[in-house]
C-alpha cells in the first residue's frame, strides 16, 4: 500500500528565501509524481508533474526532482514571495491511476 | 481555471440524510475521480469512473456511490450521512493516457454534517 509523507508539516520563511519541500513515498512503482498547490478552502492547482522516467521538471521559480530508487521528491521554490503562501501537496500515481496524497506542507512567506 | 466545476460550493446536512454532489469535467475528459479531504489532511481517493463505469475504489463504504454521464458530468452520492463525512469533496478529470496525464481538480464542495 502506497504511503506518502511530507516534511515539514509547516514552514515559515522571510520573503526572498529559497526553500525546499520534501516528499517521500513507500512504493517506488509509480507512474508519476505530482505537486499541487492548495489555497485555503480551495481546490488543487497542479504545479508540476514528473513522469517516472524523468528526474526533474521546472516551471518558472519552481523545480521538482524525483528519485524513485530512494522514494523521494523535492520541490524547490526560488526567491519566495508572499503570494507563494499556500499548502503544497505531493501525490504519487500508480497503476490504478488513483493519486495517493501526503498531508501537505503549509508554507507562509512573510513580507 | 481548470475548466472543472462543482456544485454546490457549500452544503449543510444532518446525520442520516442523503446528499448528491455534482461535477462537470473538462470537455473530452473520459475519466473522473472523486476525493475526500478532511480538515488538515491530504485528499483520500474515493473512486474513479472511466467511460461511465466504476474503475477503482478506495477504502470507502458502499454508501458512497457515483455516476458518470456521457456529457462529462458526474455525481457523488452519500447515503446515511455521518459526522465524519464532513469534509471537502474534490472531483478531478483527466484523459486516460497510461498514467501520464495531469488530473484537473475542481474547486470542491465543502460538506458539513451536523
Interface test with A, best of B99, B107, B108, B111 (most A CBs within 10 A): B99
Question: Quick one: cell of B56?
Answer: 477503482
The model's pLDDT over B45-101, given as tens digits with 9 standing for 90+, comes to 999 998 899 988 999 999 999 999 988 899 999 999 999 999 999 999 987 665 556
Task: Report how many helices (DSSP H) and strands (DSSP E) chain B contains, helices first.
Answer: 0, 11
Assess B49–A contact: CB distance below 8 Å, yes or no.
Answer: no
Mean pLDDT of A87-93: 96
CB contacts of A36 in chain B (<8 Å) are 105
The model's pLDDT over B88-110, given as tens digits with 9 standing for 90+, comes to 999 999 876 655 567 889 999 99
Query: Which runs of E-coded beta strand occur in chain A?
Result: 4-7, 10-14, 19-25, 32-38, 44-51, 56-59, 62-67, 72-77, 86-93, 99-101, 105-110
Task: Give the per-residue pLDDT at B97.
Answer: 61
CB contacts of A45 in chain B (<8 Å) are 2, 105
Cβ neighbour number for residue B80 with a 10 Å cutoff: 11
Pairing relation of β-strands A10-14 and B73-78?
A: unpaired
Q: How confident is the model at residue A42 (pLDDT cuts 50, 70, 90)?
A: confident
The model's pLDDT over B4-46, given as tens digits with 9 standing for 90+, comes to 999 999 999 999 999 999 999 887 888 899 999 999 899 999 9
Average pLDDT, chain A: 93
Residue A96 has, within 13 A of its CA and on its CB side, a CA count of: 17
Instruction: Provide the β-strand partners of residue A24.
Output: A5, A72
CB contacts of B1 in chain A (<8 Å) are none
Residue A34 has, within 13 A of its CA and on its CB side, a CA count of: 22
Burial of A12 (0-12, 13-18, 19+ CB in 10 A): exposed
Assess B97–A contact: CB distance below 8 Å, yes or no.
Answer: no
- Residues 74-93 in B contacting A (C-alpha not used; CB under 8 Å): 88, 90, 92
Asked if B105 lies within 8 A of A36 by C-beta distance, the reply is yes
Amino acid at each position: 500500500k502506497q504511503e506518502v509523507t511530507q516534511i515539514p508539516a509547516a514552514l515559515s520563511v522571510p520573503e526572498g528565501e529559497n526553500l525546499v519541500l520534501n516528499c517521500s513515498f513507500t512504493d517506488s512503482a509509480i507512474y508519476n509524481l505530482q505537486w499541487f498547490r492548495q489555497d485555503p478552502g480551495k481546490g488543487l492547482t497542479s504545479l508540476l508533474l514528473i513522469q517516472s522516467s524523468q528526474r526533474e521538471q521546472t516551471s518558472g521559480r519552481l523545480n521538482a526532482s524525483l528519485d524513485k530508487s530512494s522514494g523521494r521528491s523535492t520541490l524547490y521554490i526560488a526567491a519566495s514571495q508572499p503570494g507563494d503562501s499556500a499548502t503544497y501537496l505531493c501525490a504519487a500515481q500508480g497503476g490504478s491511476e488513483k493519486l495517493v496524497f501526503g498531508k501537505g506542507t503549509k508554507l507562509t512567506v512573510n513580507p | 481555471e481548470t475548466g472543472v466545476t462543482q456544485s454546490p460550493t457549500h452544503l449543510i446536512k444532518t446525520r442520516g440524510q442523503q446528499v448528491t454532489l455534482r461535477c462537470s469535467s473538462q470537455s473530452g475528459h473520459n475519466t473522473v475521480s472523486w476525493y475526500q479531504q478532511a480538515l488538515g489532511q491530504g485528499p483520500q481517493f474515493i473512486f474513479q469512473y472511466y467511460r461511465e463505469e466504476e474503475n477503482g475504489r478506495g477504502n470507502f463504504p458502499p454508501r458512497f456511490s457515483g455516476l458518470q454521464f456521457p456529457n462529462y458530468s458526474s455525481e457523488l452520492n452519500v447515503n446515511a450521512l455521518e459526522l465524519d463525512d464532513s469534509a471537502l469533496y474534490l472531483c478531478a478529470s483527466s484523459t486516460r493516457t497510461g498514467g501520464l496525464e495531469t488530473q484537473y481538480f475542481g474547486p470542491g464542495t465543502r460538506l458539513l454534517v451536523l
